[in-house]
Amino acid sequence: MLTERQREIVKATVPLLETGGEALITHFYQTMLGEYPEVRPLFNQAHQQSGAQPRALAHSVLMYAKNIDRLENLGNLPAQIINKHVALQVQAEHYPIVGACLLRAIREVLGAEIATDEVIAAWAAAYQQLADILIAAERSVYEQTAAAEGGWRGARAFKLVQKQAESAEITSFYLEPADGGAVITHQPGQYIGLRVVVDGLEQRRNYSLSAPTNGKSYRISVKREAGGKVSNHLHDQLQVGDTLELFPPAGHFTLQAAARPLVLISGGVGITPTLPMLQAALPTGREITFIHCARDRGVHAFREKIDALASSHEQLTRRYCYDQADAGDEVDAQGLLSTERLAQWLPESRDADVYFLGPRGFMRSVKQSLRELGVPDAQVHYEFFGPAEALA
């Protein structure tokens, strides 16, 4: 049980986390991934090398410390963490490893004069409180998913039945369960975890589900990343008839029912979760604005699909913005998606629901523009492909 004294000690470390949290978390990851190989598949090494994972965890630890006595102020952060954990199948036995390495990093980075026994004991109690909350929530999700029609727990073998290039960089993979059974339905915007072995090492990744739910199969649409171990393996090695191990769908970035106008904004491969959102919203009759930004026509995936939907649904307006456009590309704008351009494309009433996803810089710009344009914060929704970093 976390005492009031321990809460005060944890909050007193906030200034240290604000200035040195990323260095502490980097040390934590080096220790854990170096000494506990069993947890390595849970972490994308590209995110480690770029610093995205340490930054994201440092932000989460800081927010937890700041709100240790007001956990309700964390907003969507716990849901983001729980869904990421569920998609990768984080288990209760992983938490003691993380806790031990975190406390060790606090001691070794801050030093014994600052990280006294009392400070370590306070952080141990704080970590255990958080671990208990997450473990209980994740256990509940695992049990509900396994009990649902078409549900399962852990890994399930799926066969690749179709592989289709969608652009110069993005390929879709159509997957059906090898056992021939049903699959649990997913919400528009959710993603799925997969497990593959690349060069003898287990790797786990999350990919958005890019097609509406049908109870029989799933589709993911994957961008080939330069140097990406898993994306290149899927593009180059996985062939029709091969099998993959999938974990059940997860994710809280899902389309919410409403009558307000809907705006879907994506950049690059961020288009993938907006596709099932769009297809789910069209039958409701609500006004929809679909905005997609890409480098050029060659990397713009699913354009023909969106064009066809726009031509057959009067309530759908689509806008395309390319960094580089050639004659005949039929784009609405060239260059960045500026606040001024977004102001022209949004519905006249700013009382709209906006969902957006794309590269981090793109998302930061969109979020700032939406705030400047008066879209209510509570009606702005976004998700991260990788670690959940702050968009401040």
Which residues are marked as active site? Answer: 95, 138
Neighbours of 209 (CB within 10 A): 23
How many CB atoms lie under 10 A from the CB of residue 143? 12
Q: Indicate the DSSP class of residue 348.
A: S
Alpha carbon dihedral 325, 329, 334, 335, in 10-degree steps, equals -50
Give the CA angle between residues 284, 346, 328 to the nearest 5°.
Answer: 95
In degrees rounded to 5, what are phi and psi of residue 72? -65, -20
Are 222 and 270 in contact by the 8 Å Cβ rule? The answer is no
Quick one: which of 114, 148, 121, 82 has its CA closest to 13? 114
SS3 375: coil
DSSP state of 336: -
Question: Count of CB atoms within 10 A of residue 19's CB?
Answer: 9
Q: How far apart are CA 76 and CA 343, in angstroms?
A: 27
3-state secondary structure 12-38: HCHHHHHHHHHHHHHHHHHHHHHHCHH
Distances from the Cα of 384 to the Cαs of 143, 232, 282, 316, in angstroms?
25, 21, 24, 25
Bridge partners (DSSP) of residue 205 are: 194
Contact residues for 93 (Cβ-Cβ < 8 A; gap 6+): none
At 183 the three-state DSSP class reads coil
- Give the β-pairing of 316-322 and 288-294: parallel
Q: Which string of b and e fits 226-240 if b means at least 16 CB within 10 Å?
A: eebbbbebbbeebee
